[in-house]
């Protein structure tokens, strides 16, 4: 019977291995892309979308204007804006449709995906590759974890790393960021 410790060790080992396979230049360019954008929009489904929402929350803590696509208060996207779109397969219908719409409206589109040749990557102006099995890969060849777990974990780690770079560049204190933390809970 597998143990929780074995699961944690597997996840940490796979995260370390995947981080060694990252093409860093596109990720290093993302903080400036975020800073150069008037507004940021985030779209993704399932667990990948949840990881992206966590990244969006951190951008809000930095004082950036960010919206989650699908919420009733999300305005129209346009030129000067940035869409962060996450899909491991790069073919999730709603995410792909949002990226196509954003590109037609002349917004920048940053695709976070595991597939550089996917439809999402093709429509994007910036492709951010994340090593990891997508949810449809249940072979165990890329990851011993279930389906897209490694992709989702790496997405969260990378977005938190983008936040870290932006935070340090901003010169803001942790107290300044915390003042923006939700207080209606």
Q: What CATH number does residue 158 fall under?
A: 3.40.50.10490
184 domain-assigned = no
Instruction: Count Cβ atoms below 10 Å from residue 91 Cβ, excluding itself.
Output: 16
pLDDT (mean) for 108-134: 94
Q: State yes or no: is 152 an active-site residue.
A: yes
How many domains does one find in the chain? 1
Tell me: pLDDT of 133 over 70: no
185 domain-assigned = no
67 domain-assigned = yes
137 domain-assigned = yes
Which of 6, 152, 176, 185 is an active site residue?
152
> Which stretches of the chain are DSSP H helices?
4-20, 24-35, 46-61, 93-104, 119-123, 149-170, 174-178
Kindly report the length of the chain: 185
183 domain-assigned = no
Q: Distance between CA atoms of 148 and 113, rounded to whole angstroms?
A: 11
84 domain-assigned = yes
Domain boundaries, position 133? 4-178
Q: What is the pLDDT of residues 26-82, one digit of tens each?
A: 999 999 999 999 999 999 999 999 999 999 999 999 999 999 999 999 999 999 999
pLDDT value for 141: 76
71 domain-assigned = yes
Question: Is the sign of the CA dihedral 49, 122, 40, 173 positive or negative?
Answer: positive
74 domain-assigned = yes
């Amino acid at each position: 019977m597998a143990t929780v410790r074995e699961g944690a060790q597997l996840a940490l080992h796979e995260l370390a291995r995947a981080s060694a396979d990252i093409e860093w230049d596109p990720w290093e360019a993302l903080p400036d892309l975020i800073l150069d954008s008037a507004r940021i929009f985030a779209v993704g489904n399932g667990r990948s979308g949840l990881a992206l929402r966590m990244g969006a929350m951190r951008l809000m803590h930095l004082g950036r204007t960010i919206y989650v696509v699908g919420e009733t208060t999300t305005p129209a996207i346009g030129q000067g804006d940035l869409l962060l779109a996450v899909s491991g397969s790069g073919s999730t219908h709603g995410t792909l449709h949002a990226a196509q719409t954003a590109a037609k409206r002349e917004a920048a589109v940053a695709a976070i995906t595991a597939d550089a040749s996917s439809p999402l990557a093709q429509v994007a102006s910036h492709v951010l590759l994340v090593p990891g099995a997508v949810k449809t890969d249940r072979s165990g060849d890329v990851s011993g974890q279930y389906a897209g777990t490694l992709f989702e974990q790496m997405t969260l780690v990378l977005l938190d790393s983008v936040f870290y770079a932006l935070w340090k560049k901003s010169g803001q204190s942790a107290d300044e960021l915390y003042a923006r933390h939700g207080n209606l809970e």
